[in-house]
Amino acid sequence: MNSLRKPCPRQPGRAVWIVLDGVGLGALPDAAAYGDEDAATLPHVAAACDGLSLPNLQRLGLGNLADIAGVPPIAAPCGAFGRMREQAAGKDSISGHWEMAGVTLVEPFATFPHGFPAELIERFAEIAGCLPIGNVGTSGTSILGLYGAEHLRTGRPIVYTSVDSVFQIAAHEAVLPSEDLYRLCRQVRSMVDAYRIGRVIARPFTGDAVSGFRRTPGRKDFPLSPPRPTLLDQLAAVEVPVWAVGKLADLFAGRGVMRQLPTRDNDEGMERILEALNELGDCGLLAANLIDFDMVYGHRQDAVGFGRALERFDAWLPRLQAALSEDDLLLISADHGCDPLTPGTDHTREYVPILAWCPGLNDSRPLGERSTFADLGATLAAYFGVTMKEGRSFLEELR
């Protein structure tokens, strides 16, 4: 087995951290406070698919973490496996990613599930030059049907939210080109900081009322900046390159990220991971978020599509493992649940898996239940030879 030595800018070593967005294992002890006591994303998805075929994740120990149809536990996984419990208040992507990177939120972000207050909408109108339409709490799958035609007729942007802490702005590309929409979102981001809204999200779309409206891949998130340095900031400070695939850089407001590789979907994300790994050099962190599980399947309550996407990731995983070198480290986790079979379309407060692997690790390393997501970041910090105040590293258990 390799040494998993602690690299620095003068010692080679790469870590790949992949977040399977929304892939939870089962309800946390406090899930009832969030209305999620029945949530169990992976088990429910597997049952809806009459079993999943995930042989590569199974070999890493995934089936030993929950009752997943088609993925039974095995006696001797060839990786380290455990589950992590979120300590942050909330159940959104920002709080999950921040906690994994060493910043745990004590107070949840503000939510406005029934629409934003009048004074906030008036301030938006001052920036946009007109009052928006919408200002409702609803899903992104229905908002275009409700307001798309009126938006095309009037040119007024669509503003909506959900049970998450999001201020979403939808605009047709023929009315407000994407770059102009992003510019508007940046202005709104500064405006809503005082309201503790987690994310401003640009939602460009195309189409018409006859053929139907369609969201484009041009979604862009503008989050509240982390209140203190994260693991990514610490790595940047000691010149360890951090490359981010997918929306991950957006969730940290770009801080600590040297290079961002945007993606349209999971398939492109997986290809970008392999391309980036080939270009990264012999030292650095490659962090990726694969969003389709959450955005395309979880929120739209498509359990079968969710399962098929997991199987595509599993089939791709050996390509990544084959590309890793002797001193490289792979960590796979999630940021929250997004159970497509519980009422509503919201995220769900669940345990998440933590799977760790490196070339030469061929025996079982149970990690048990980790009391915080920050254990993942603490492990990466130990790997790169920096210090993270939150979390407890499990790097020694991989040596």
Written as one letter, the residue type at 150 is E
Does the structure show a pLDDT above 90 at 108? no
Q: Are residues 125 and 94 in the same domain?
A: no
4 in a structural domain: no
Does the structure show a pLDDT above 90 at 348? yes
Element (H, E) at 357: strand 350-357
Share above pLDDT 70 across residues of the chain, in percent, rounded to a whole number: 97
In this structure, what token pair is assigned to residue 375? 């254990």
**Into how many domains does the chain fold?**
2
Buried b (16+ CB within 10 A) or exposed e, 185-194: beebbebbee
CA separation for the pair 359, 328 (Å, rounded): 7
CA separation for the pair 115, 159 (Å, rounded): 9
Beta bridge partners of 15: 285, 329
Query: What pLDDT score was predicted for residue 12?
Result: 62
Does the structure show a pLDDT above 50 at 10? no
Give the residue-averaged pLDDT of 129-149: 92
Q: Over the stretch 172-205, which tens digit does the pLDDT of each residue have?
A: 999 999 999 999 999 999 999 999 999 999 999 9
Q: Are residues 85 and 130 in the same domain?
A: no
For 52, 148, 265, 301, 354, the CA distances from 308, given in Å and listed in that order, are 8, 31, 14, 14, 21
Domain finish residue from 204, 222, 240: 222
7 in a structural domain: no
Domain carrying residue 209 = 118-222
Does the structure show a pLDDT above 60 at 321? yes
Q: Are residues 157 and 172 in the same domain?
A: yes
181 in a structural domain: yes
Q: Are residues 26 and 90 in the same domain?
A: yes
- Contact between 6 and 383 (Cβ < 8 Å): yes
Q: Are residues 229 and 335 in the same domain?
A: yes
Among candidates 53, 164, 71, which has minimal Cα distance to 353? 71
- Contact between 58 and 71 (Cβ < 8 Å): yes
Among candidates 83, 114, 90, which has minimal Cα distance to 104? 90
Please tell me the total number of residues recorded for the chain in this structure.
Answer: 399
Average pLDDT in the chain: 94
Q: Over the stretch 350-393, which tens digit does the pLDDT of each residue have?
A: 999 999 999 988 889 999 999 999 999 999 999 999 999 999 99
Q: Are residues 86 and 140 in the same domain?
A: no
Q: What is 254-315 written as a DSSP string? A: TTT-SEEE--SSHHHHHHHHHHHHHHS-SEEEEEEEE-HIIIIIITTT-HHHHHHHHHHHHH
CATH code assigned at 83: 3.40.720.10
Q: Are residues 152 and 205 in the same domain?
A: yes
Report the interhelical angle of 303-323 vs 41-48 (nearest 10°): 110
Q: Are residues 291 and 247 in the same domain?
A: yes
CA separation for the pair 305, 205 (Å, rounded): 22
